[in-house]
Structure 1
Amino acid sequence: MAGVCEGLKDLQEKEIEKVKSSLDGQVRVISGIGDFTNVVTIHPDGLDLHCKFQLTESYPQTPPTISIRSSVLNSDQTASLISSLQTEATSKVGQMMLVDLMTSCKRWLFENDVDVCASTVAEKSKHKKGNGKSKQGNNKEKIKPENEIGDKSSKKKPPMRTAADVIKRLQWDKAFDKENFWIGYLDRIVGLVEKKFTAFTWGDIAAVDYCTLAIPQHRIQYFKYFTEKVWDKNERLDNVFGSTGSKLTLIEAIKKYEDKQKELGEVEEKKNIPEVDVNENHEDGAAGSEMEDETEIYDEFEENECSNDEADEQINDLSKPEIHKKRPNFFVALQITDTNTIEKLLDVQNQVIKWYPSYTDHKIPANGFHLTLSVLKLENTSDNQACFDAMNQAKSKLEKLARNTEPLILQDLDHFSRRVIYAKVKYSQQFLALVDEIRDILINAGFDVGSSSFKPHLTLFNVRRSVCLERKDILLNAFNDSDCPFGSQAIDNIQVCRMGTLPKGDSTEFYENIFRFDM
Structure 2
Amino acid sequence: MALKLVRSLLLNACLHKDRFMVVYRDSFAGLLEEPLNAFSWNFDGDFGWCPIVVPGWQIEELKYNSRVVWSKTLERQFDEVYRLCLETEQESKHVCSPKSFSEASQEEECARVVLKPFTMTTHITAGDLSDVFWNKPNTYNFFLCQRVCSSEFNDKAELIQKRMCDLEQQFAKCLYTPAMFHMTLCTLSLADFLAVEDCFSTLKDICEQYQNLLPKDPLHLYGVDTFSRRVLYASCKPNEELTAFVHQIQLSLRSEGFQVNGDEPFVPHVTLLKLDFLSCCVLRAA
Question: TM-score if structure 1 supplies the norm length?
Answer: 0.33
Query: How many Å apart are 1:363 and its aligned residue?
Result: 0.2
Residue by residue over 1:445-467, the C-alpha shift from the partner in whole angstroms, topping out at 9 and shown as x without a partner, is 22101331322222111121023
Of the three residues 393, 411, 420, the one matched with 2:231 is 420
- Measured after TM superposition, the shift of residue 386 of structure 1 is 0.9
Does the Cα contact within 8 Å between 2:253 and 2:260 map onto a contact in 1? yes
1:362 offset after TM fit, Å? 1.0
Shift in Å, 1:70: 2.5
**Which segments of structure 1 move beyond 3 Å, counting only runs of 4 or more?**
71-79, 185-191, 193-199, 304-308
Aligned partner of 2:271 in structure 1 is 459
- TM-superposed CA distance for 1:376, in Å, is 1.1
The DSSP-based 3-state class of the residue aligned with 1:430 is helix
Counterpart of 2:145 in structure 1 is: 333
The alpha carbon displacement at 1:76 in A equals: 7.7
Q: Is the 8 A contact 1:407 1:427 kept in 2?
A: no
Separation in 2, partners of 1:392, 1:455: 23
Matched, 1:441 2:265: no
Distance 1:454 1:419, change over 3 A: same
Unaligned runs of 5+ in 2: 1-16, 20-33, 53-68, 97-129
CA distance in 2, matches of 1:188, 1:371: 29
Structure whose alpha-carbon radius of gyration is higher? 1
Which residue does the alignment assign to 2:76? 192
Residues 314-340 of structure 1, C-alpha deviations (whole Å, 9 max, x = no match)? xxxxxxxxxxx3322211001111221
Shift of 1:191: 4.0
Q: Deviations over 1:131-174 (max 9, x none)?
A: xxxxxxxxxxxxxxxxxxxxxxxxxxxxxxxxxxxxxxxxxxxx
Q: In 2 relative to 1, CA 77–357 (structure 1 residues): closer, same or farther, beyond 3 Å?
A: closer
Map 1:101-140 to 2 at 5 A.
Answer: none
- Work out the CA distance in 1 between the residues paired with 2:48 and 2:253: 34
Q: 3-state SS of the aligned residue for 1:422? A: strand
Distance across 2 between alignment mates of 1:385 and 1:454: 25
Q: 2:196 aligns with which of 371, 381, 384?
A: 384
Verify the 8 A CA contact 2:41 2:47 in the aligned structure 1. Answer: no
- Kept in 1, the 8 Å contact 2:221–2:236? The answer is yes
State the structure with bigger RCO (CA 8 A, min sep 6), 1 or 2: 2
CA distance in 2, matches of 1:356, 1:441: 43
Cα deviation for residue 377 of structure 1 reads: 2.1
Percent of matched pairs sharing the same residue: 22
Q: Quick one: structure 1 residues 447 and 349, their matched pair in 2 at CA, closer, same or farther if it must change by over 3 Å?
A: same
Superposed, 1:257-272 pairs within 5 Å as: none
Q: State how far apart, in whole Å, the 1-side matches of 2:228 and 2:209 are.
A: 38
Deviations 1:350-397 (A, max 9, x none): 122122222011101111001111111222232122112211222333
Distance 1:454 1:348 in 2: 24
Pairing 1:371–2:171 present: no
1:70 aligns with 2:41: yes
In the alignment, which residue of structure 1 is the partner of 2:161? 349
User: TM-score by structure 2 length?
Assistant: 0.56
Q: What corresponds to 1:201 in structure 2?
A: 89
User: Cα–Cα, structure 1 residues 198 and 340, in superposed 2: closer, same or farther, change >3 Å?
Assistant: farther
Q: CA–CA distance in 1 between the matches of 2:87 and 2:166?
A: 32
Q: Where do 5+ consecutive residues of structure 1 fail to align?
A: 1-25, 29-39, 42-48, 52-67, 84-184, 213-303, 313-324, 474-519
What is the DSSP-based 3-state SS (H/G/I as helix, E as strand, rest coil) of the residue aligned with 2:170? helix
State the AA in 1 paired with 2:224.
L
- Match of residue 150 from structure 1: none
Distance in 1 separating the partners of 2:175 and 2:86: 25
Count of residues paired in the alignment? 199
Checking the alignment, whether the CA contact within 8 Å between 2:215 and 2:241 is kept in structure 1 is: no
Question: 1:188 Cα shift?
Answer: 10
Matches within 5 A, 1:137-216: 191-192=75-76, 199-201=87-89
* Cα distance in structure 1, aligned partners of 2:71 and 2:199: 30
**CA contact under 8 A between 1:386 and 1:445: conserved in structure 2?**
no
Alignment check: 8 A CA contact 2:215 2:242 kept:
no
Equivalents in 2 of 1:369, 1:400: separation in Å?
Answer: 25
Deviation string 1:163-213 (CA, Å, 9 cap, x unpaired) is: xxxxxxxxxxxxxxxxxxxxxx7779974165757741169xxxx9xxx9x
C-alpha distance 361-186 of structure 1, shift in aligned 2 (>3 A): closer
Distance in 2 between residues matched to 1:380 and 1:186, nearest whole Å: 28
